[in-house]
């Protein structure tokens, strides 16, 4: 009896996170991630044009040494690499959920940028 219960639990635990992500959810996450990145670049550019300071220390250092366009080029390359990684290795639900969380984090950065621009 205990052995059977243990086997049932092992099967249930083994299937956690194995459910495939639907194509619609994948599209939503990918579009949301890319849109959040684009909005971040846009609001950052507007803020910098208004004389605001870049809050990201690494980006501020790159802007100071190589200019604003260098930061955007690096960000574009990183986003392209992350999207490529997602499309190649994005079979697991956890990977898609990580990108969804990254999109939300970037959305909060965009909201912060908008707050700083509007105030």
**E strands of the chain, at which residues?**
none
Q: How far is CA 92 from CA 19, 26, 30, 84, 104, in A?
A: 8, 11, 14, 15, 19
**pLDDT tens-digit profile of 52-68?**
999 889 999 999 999 99
97 domain residue, yes or no: yes
Q: Identify the band that residue 94 occupies on the pLDDT scale cut at 50, 70 and 90.
A: confident
Number of structural domains (the chain) is 1
pLDDT of residue 89: 85
pLDDT at 112 over 60: yes
> Is residue 72, in this structure, part of any structural domain at all?
yes
Tell me which residue range forms the domain holding 108.
Answer: 21-118
Mean pLDDT value across the chain: 88
Identify the H or E element spanning 96: helix 93-118
d(CA 14, CA 26): 23
In a domain, 71, yes or no: yes
Say if 110 falls within a structural domain.
yes
How many residues are given for the chain? 119
In this prediction, residues 4-23 reach a mean pLDDT of 69
| pTM summary value | 0.77
Token digits of residue 17 = 């996170």
Residue 3, domain member (yes or no):
no
Query: Do 87 and 96 meet the contact criterion of CB atoms below 8 Å apart?
Result: no
83 falls within a domain: yes
């Amino acid at each position: 009896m205990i052995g059977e219960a243990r086997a049932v639990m092992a099967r249930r635990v083994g299937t956690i996170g194995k459910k495939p992500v639907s194509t619609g959810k994948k599209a939503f996450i990918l579009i949301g991630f890319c849109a959040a990145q684009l909005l971040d670049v846009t609001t950052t550019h507007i803020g910098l044009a208004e004389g605001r300071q870049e809050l990201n220390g690494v980006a501020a250092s790159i802007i100071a040494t190589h200019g604003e366009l260098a930061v955007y080029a690096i960000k574009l390359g990183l986003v392209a690499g992350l999207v490529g990684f997602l499309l190649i290795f994005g079979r697991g639900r956890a990977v898609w959920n990580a990108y969804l969380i990254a999109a939300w984090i970037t959305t909060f950065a965009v909201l912060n940028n908008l707050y700083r621009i509007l105030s």
